[in-house]
């Protein structure tokens, strides 16, 4: 009898658990250390975490965040529209102002947090650009271990901005 022996790319204990990683991503924090920032500007993921050096530019969030946002906002706004328009006599101009505005605000407000959560999920499972062992946590000593990687970057994505070498941050 043969057992299935395909080890995960990284021992699971080195990574942040799923819920915590997704929560960190949701609030614009690095899923690995929770200190550095995930996004440099709106929706633009940093090449690497400025605190622990985790490489983040290989993520493949792609269409999942907007899909989830549409799903969520559609249900929230759809429910509110039904409840309020059926229950109250709302003037037309209010309906035509409030609902599109609410939809827009919710969609734009949730898009980046949702993308962060999806990236947190990909990080926890070692998907896509997160296959390598994450850098060791905790301070200057840990930061120097294996952060810079071996030039696996996928090219293209403008990214010299947050390219601080890991371990430089906390002197």
Residues in contact with Zn ion by CB under 5 A are: 30, 32-33, 36, 49, 51-52, 54
Cβ(146)–Cβ(55) under 8 Å?
Answer: no
Cβ(123)–Cβ(31) under 8 Å?
Answer: yes
Q: HSE, CB side, 13 Å, CA atoms: give it for residue 6.
A: 1
**How many residues would you count in the chain?**
171
**Closer of 32 and 115 to Zn ion (Cβ):** 32
What minimum distance in Å lies between the beta carbon of 140 and Zn ion? 14
**Closer of 73 and 117 to Zn ion (Cβ):** 117
What minimum distance in Å lies between the beta carbon of 151 and Zn ion? 20
Please name the residue that has the structure tokens 């390219």. Answer: 163
**Closer of 15 and 69 to Zn ion (Cβ):** 15
- Three-state SS string across 13-45, please? HHCCCHHHHHHHHHCCECCCCCCCECEEECCEE
**Closer of 21 and 111 to Zn ion (Cβ):** 21
What minimum distance in Å lies between the beta carbon of 104 and Zn ion? 32
What minimum distance in Å lies between the beta carbon of 136 and Zn ion? 11
Greatest extent of the chain over all pairs of C-alpha atoms, in Å: 72
């Amino acid at each position: 009898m043969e057992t299935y022996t395909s080890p995960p790319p990284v021992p699971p204990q080195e990574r942040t658990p799923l819920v915590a990683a997704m929560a960190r991503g949701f609030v614009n924090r690095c899923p690995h250390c929770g200190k550095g920032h995930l996004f440099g500007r709106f929706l633009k993921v940093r090449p690497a975490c400025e605190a622990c050096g985790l490489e983040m530019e290989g993520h493949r969030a792609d269409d999942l965040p907007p899909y989830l946002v549409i799903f969520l906002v559609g249900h929230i706004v759809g429910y509110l529209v039904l409840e309020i328009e059926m229950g109250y006599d709302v003037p037309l101009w209010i309906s035509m102002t409030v609902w599109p505005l609410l939809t827009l605000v919710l969609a734009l407000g949730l898009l980046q947090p949702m993308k962060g959560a999806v990236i947190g999920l990909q990080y926890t499972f070692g998907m896509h650009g997160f296959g390598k062992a994450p850098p060791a946590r905790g301070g200057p000593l840990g930061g120097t271990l294996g952060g810079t990687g071996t030039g696996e970057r996928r090219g293209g994505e403008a990214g010299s901005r947050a390219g601080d070498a890991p371990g430089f941050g906390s002197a």
